[in-house]
Amino acid sequence: MKVVVGARGSKLSITQTNLIIDMIKKAHPYLEIELKTIKTKGDILREASLYKIGGKGVFVKEIEKELLNGEIDMAVHSMKDMPGVLPEGLKLSYVPEREDYRDVLVLREGLNSLDELPIGAKIGTGSKRRKYQLLRYRKDLNIIEIRGNIDTRIKKIESEKLDGVVLAAAGIKRLGLDKTLKDRLVYLDKEIVLPSPCQGILAIEIRKDDKKMEEILKSISHEKTEIQAKVERGFLTGAGGSCKVPIGAYCEIYDEKVVLEGFLGTEDGSVLINKRMEGSKDSLEKLGYDLANTMIRERDSR
């Protein structure tokens, strides 16, 4: 049996997709697996603000079109890039183990920590979630909007004379940059910057009626990550799931208890709310929806 896997052509996307392919091959050595790279709108319009060119969906729409047309059998995405609602006919399948969920600050050489940054330090990020949480921690920071793949953004530290850029730790680690950049990395705890919902989790998208792919992918499932993905995507969907407003979430599991922490703000950052809610393993998506709805009401009443 041959399986065609679709993914973006970036170095990180190909690395992540090959991780999934290796997991599948280990469990199903008889499969022939082909990787097909697909250019997305987000890859073509690299410098434009995400929310101006269509939000999270700009990294997945072209790939989803090929999946619906039967040109590929499955697609691998970063789950944090997935909109809250998928196109009719598609679904997310089983989820492998999560990588580091945190954000990481890549500093220019000579700097050592977030607290030691000079007054008015220039930090690059295209994310409102990162921007407003960093400014809440250090009001003096000068946040510069940047986009591009990981290598491009790191190079902008030199080319645009930045003091640092904020990236997802998962991407840094999957590319092995945590070793080469070791002395320049500051991992941001969730108490400072709550991550994007499902950050560090890979999403595997398939056609809803494809029972064969579903059965194949069962072998890579990771129970704790499956729970976190359901809860955090529930929050994302309940909060509207766009790039226009800052949204963050992280779910922790304690035996049968599930605790979700959410972050939600207004588009201009004038209102920023953090809230926690507890639930059980019986109502995962509901916990996400409920916390999002509570926070939306609180935000809109201010």
Hey, which residues are catalytic here?
Answer: 81
CB atoms within 10 A of CB 11: 14
Rounded-to-integer distance, Cα 297 and Cα 107, Å: 37
Residues facing residue 5 across a β-bridge: 35, 74
Characterize the bridge pairing of strands 164-168 and 103-107: antiparallel
Q: Is 274 helix (H, G, I), strand (E, B) or coil?
A: strand
91 burial (CB, 10 Å; 0-12 / 13-18 / 19+) is middle
Which tokens in the block code for residue 40? 């997305």
The answer to whether 194 and 72 are in contact (CB under 8 A) is no
- C-alpha span between 292 and 295 (Å, rounded): 5
* Amino acid letter, 8: R
Torsion sign across C-alpha atoms 228, 234, 236, 239: negative
Evaluate whether 101 touches 237 at the Cβ level (below 8 Å): no
The one-letter code for the residue type at 33 is I
192 with 210: CB under 8 angstroms?
no
Token pair for 144: 């510069």
Angle 52-197-148 (CA atoms, 0-180°, nearest 5)? 45
279 to 75, 118, 252: CA distances (angstroms): 31, 42, 11
Integer CA distances (angstroms), 180 to 150, 173, 175, 185, in order: 14, 10, 10, 10
